[in-house]
Amino acid sequence: MKINTFQKKNNWKGVKKNYLVAFVFDSPKIKDSVLAEIERFFSQSISNTKILKDFTGEVGKTISVNFTGSKSIDGITLIGLGDINKFNIDLLRRVSGITYRELNEKKIKIAAILIISEHFKSVSEYEIGESIAEGLILSSFSYTLQTSSKPENSISEITLAITEAKNIKNYQKGISDAVSVCEQVNMARELISSPANHMTPTIIANKAKFIASSIPRIKCKIITADEAKKKGMGSFLSVTKGSSEPAKIIILEYNPTAMRKLKTVALVGKGVTFDSGGISLKPAKDMHKMKYDMAGGAAVIGTIAAVARLKLPVRVVGIIPATENLPDGKATKPGDIVKSLSGKTIEIQNTDAEGRLILADCLTYALRFKPSAIIDIATLTGACVIALGSHAMGMMSNNEKLKKLLNEAGNNTHERVWELPVWDDYFDDIKSDVADIKNIGDGSAGTIAGAMFLKQFVDEVPWVHLDIAGTAWIEKKHDYLARGASGSGIRLFVKFLSLFAKDNN
């Protein structure tokens, strides 16, 4: 799908699109101005189409009219934006997501979206282009079904038809940035949706290598299980032992310039390609969903690819421990004690709390890159799904500045974060009688217990833990995200990294 822009001159001559979508606020005056502009767009009266007149503009409501037999006009769809005083940028993503679905259902190939500039004065031209493109591209994703009949996407070209632009390039930049990022979000969604037999640690590692070879300034290195053993990554290896799929630690490094010394952000993403729970086996119901336990890893890969395409001025190191978590004669048993890369010993009381075990060694490993910030992202706890559902990630951190930036990035992208505390008081819960720490708490505050465990491996480096167990997979479809893998974290990280780069250059 191509997304273009067209700026109205004195009239709309030159924009050859027979299908028009217009966004309408819940206000009779605004609606009249939209209908008048539609008439100018088609140089044709539409005053006899009563149903357009009856439309109110309630959020997300749509109305479509087809014009059969007309040469210049095939149809019009109006989509409601609601109360203009409650307008925010996410509403533009939502109506654009709806636009994509509506056009696709109608099998339309080429269409225009009418933007009456004066209705969107509260947001920048860049943001309008960006959010509309995001809504369209995110909405266009569907997992490549492994069935004999495949759904088809009809739309090939959408033009933003803008009444008045201060500078059309602002819109175009917003669109092209959104394309760079959202293509990676959709790439990650494909990885996350793929079942565990199609998305092994080896396949993810190959994907990472491919990304490094096809996008400039990205390097990829793979640490094998043997190498991890030599390094002393006993915590990571304790999880890999039950699986016969070779485990890997994937290191992706985006370095925009070899000349200047830029600050480094390390991103660590949980890449469990299937989590059965191991010897602490999960119940059968819903176990199939644990193919998405690598969503954190996919988010890190997608982020590195996106920031490299945007050429953001910050060095980003991505570390993805990738493994299956399975029961086996060789698998780790509850009660086993292992030594982590940090030197700390861990009593594994529950093999289903495996995410923190693989992340622990990777957080320690991340310190070698001398990062100014470490952020880990993981589908870590069911407790986070209970606490926050799918509308916010759990955020736990030892650093105010990072929290603030992530909050800002979260509100901007609508990938919102919500803080839970990591006070020292919670440390008691993960004390072990036989090792330095144990991998589960006492059953209360499960999300925080996971974070307290991870916190032991970052020394004093500014760090954030994001629990995406609830946001990575959505059960109810939403205006621009289908049910299933959401690709959660990538848009948040990209926005965060651009704010971080601005603050640190």
469 binds, among Zn ion, ligand BES, none (CB under 5 to 8 A by kind): ligand BES
The site string for ligand BES over 331-350 (x = CB under 6 A, - otherwise) reads -------------------x
470 phi and psi, to 5 degrees? -90, -30
Cβ 134 to Zn ion, closest distance in Å?
Answer: 29
Q: Which is nearer to ligand BES, 256 or 450 (CB)?
A: 450
381 binds, among Zn ion, ligand BES, none (CB under 5 to 8 A by kind): ligand BES
Nearest residue to ligand BES, by Cβ distance, number only: 382
Catalytic (active-site) positions: 282, 356
Cβ 297 to ligand BES, closest distance in Å?
Answer: 12
For 117-120, the CB contacts below 8 A with 24+ separation are 117/162, 117/163, 117/164, 117/165, 118/163, 118/164, 119/23, 119/25, 119/30, 119/33, 119/84, 120/87, 120/92
Window 360-379: residues binding ligand BES (CB under 6 A): 379
Please report, as ranges, the residues that interact with Zn ion according to CB under 5 A. Answer: 272, 275, 293, 352, 354-355
162 binds, among Zn ion, ligand BES, none (CB under 5 to 8 A by kind): none
- What's the burial of 142, exposed, middle or buried (CB within 10 Å: 0-12/13-18/19+)? middle
Secondary structure (H, E, C), 81-103: EECHHHCCHHHHHHHHHHHHHHH
Measured CA to CA in angstroms, residue 361 lies from 21, 281, 435, 443 at distances of 51, 23, 16, 24
Selection from 207, 193, 72, 83 nearest residue 143 by Cα: 193
The site string for ligand BES over 57-96 (x = CB under 6 A, - otherwise) reads ----------------------------------------
Q: Which secondary-structure segment (H or E) carries 268?
A: strand 264-269
Cβ 275 to Zn ion, closest distance in Å?
Answer: 4
The site string for ligand BES over 451-480 (x = CB under 6 A, - otherwise) reads ------------------x-----------
Binding of ligand BES by 354 (CB under 6 A): yes
Whether 131 contacts 93, CB under 8 Å = yes
List of E strands, 83-176 = 110-115, 157-162
**Of the ranges 52-60, 108-116, 177-185, 380-388, which one interacts with ligand BES (CB under 6 A)?**
380-388
Q: Which is nearer to ligand BES, 385 or 437 (CB)?
A: 385
Whole-number Å distance between alpha carbons of 472 and 488: 5
Summarize as ranges the residues that interact with ligand BES (CB under 6 A): 275, 293, 350, 352-355, 379-383, 385, 440, 446, 469
